[in-house]
Amino acid sequence: LLHQTLSETMECVWNPVFRKMAAANQPLTPLPELQSISVPGDDGLDLLTPPRHKVLTADEERDLFIRFNYCRYRMMCIVHDHEGRRLGLEAARELLNWANEALKTRNHIVRANTSLVMAMARRTKTMGVELGDLVSEGNLALLRCVDKFDCARGFKFSTYACRAIMSGFARLGAKSARYRTQFPAPFDPTFERSDFLEQQRAGEADDCVSGLKLILSHNTADLSRVEQRVISARFALDRAGRKEQKGRPRTLEQVGALLGVSKERVRQIQNRALQKLRNVIDETVLAAS
């Protein structure tokens, strides 16, 4: 990890406030929790689909980008101070700590803006380009925008990112058009589309389900008793639920009747429990990578 960090190009978007922050030498405050929003028709059953979050305010956005670039600035300072010399143990730990904080802040910003990429991809009609390819290209453009955005100029990040995402879509469309021109192929219904990706995704989904069952059995996500009951009843994980519902999940109203609470209260408990499960799954994936 240290070798990977040192091999990457270190840069930051400078802000004059960095000097004051470095002089104060105060520890970073915890990242604010992203607030999920309920979308009509979305019952939260798909753990693999990232939840939608409330749009960040201008102040929240500015604080996150200052935090992100300050972490990168501190990394640059450590490398500059040890230029031509071997990093000591303490300096290496400090460098990795700032790198970890920068990565967490970057991921926080990206998660808060993933719905922007999805919305733009769905509105974009590009011949010969599938929605998944547009989303992938948009996510790459979003990551590049996070690295380059200067919050001191007073613009919203979405304004800056939209142009870059649309440019990415245009490049992908032009690339697809060139490919179709070079390799023309008339439509032939006898040629079946490969199901390799679908099979691969199905295998990954099975792995996620197995991992989720293990997390629930050991309560790695530290769910409360009420949260465990809601998850078990909602997704028919208990024996009675599987027999009664024939493996189908109960509705929010049915779970509310079982527990003696309102449908909206069940939704709140479910969303809180699912967020805990997502956090554990994300940590497991990051640790494996």
Confidence (pLDDT) at 181: 77
Number of domains in the chain: 2
**61 domain-assigned:** yes
**129 domain-assigned:** yes
Enclosing domain of residue 247: 203-288
Confidence (pLDDT) at 239: 63
**54 domain-assigned:** yes
**57 domain-assigned:** yes
| 95 and 207 together in one domain | no
- For residue 281, give the CATH number of its domain: 1.10.10.10
What are the tens digits of pLDDT across the range 225-253?
A: 899 888 888 877 766 655 565 667 788 89
Report the alpha-carbon distance of residue 22 to residue 200 in Å, rounded: 47
**272 domain-assigned:** yes
Positive or negative, the CA dihedral 218, 223, 228, 232 is negative
**31 domain-assigned:** yes
| 148 and 209 together in one domain | no
Strand partners, 53: 36
Q: Percent of the chain beyond pLDDT 70?
A: 82
Confidence (pLDDT) at 99: 94
| 11 and 111 together in one domain | yes
Nearest alpha-carbon partner for 116 in 144, 140, 132, 138:
138
- For residue 116, give the CATH number of its domain: 1.20.120.1810
Report the alpha-carbon distance of residue 163 to residue 101 in Å, rounded: 28
Inform me whether the pLDDT recorded for 103 exceeds 80. yes
Inform me whether the pLDDT recorded for 259 exceeds 90. no
Report the alpha-carbon distance of residue 230 to residue 255 in Å, rounded: 7
| 176 and 234 together in one domain | no
| 161 and 275 together in one domain | no
Inform me whether the pLDDT recorded for 63 exceeds 50. yes
| 112 and 240 together in one domain | no
Confidence category of residue 47, pLDDT binned at 50, 70, 90: very low
CB atoms closer than 10 angstroms to residue 169: 20
The pLDDT mean for the chain works out to: 83
Inform me whether the pLDDT recorded for 193 exceeds 80. no
Q: Last residue of a domain, which of 122, 147, 182?
A: 182
Report the alpha-carbon distance of residue 262 to residue 256 in Å, rounded: 5
What are the tens digits of pLDDT across the range 140-168?
A: 999 999 999 999 999 999 999 999 999 99
More confident residue, 235 or 88: 88
| 86 and 149 together in one domain | yes
Confidence (pLDDT) at 287: 64
Confidence (pLDDT) at 2: 78
Confidence (pLDDT) at 280: 84
Report the alpha-carbon distance of residue 243 to residue 236 in Å, rounded: 9
Inform me whether the pLDDT recorded for 37 exceeds 70. no
Inform me whether the pLDDT recorded for 97 exceeds 80. yes
| 218 and 175 together in one domain | no
Mean pLDDT along residues 3-14: 86
Q: What pTM does this model have?
A: 0.59
Alpha carbon of residue 1 to chain centroid: 21
| 62 and 161 together in one domain | yes
Q: Last residue of a domain, which of 150, 182, 214?
A: 182
C-alpha separations of 285 from 53, 62, 288 in Å? 21, 29, 5
Residues 256, 230 contacting (CB under 8 angstroms): no
**190 domain-assigned:** no
| 253 and 120 together in one domain | no
| 177 and 223 together in one domain | no
Q: Last residue of a domain, which of 182, 211, 227?
A: 182
| 171 and 218 together in one domain | no
Alpha carbon of residue 236 to chain centroid: 27
**198 domain-assigned:** no
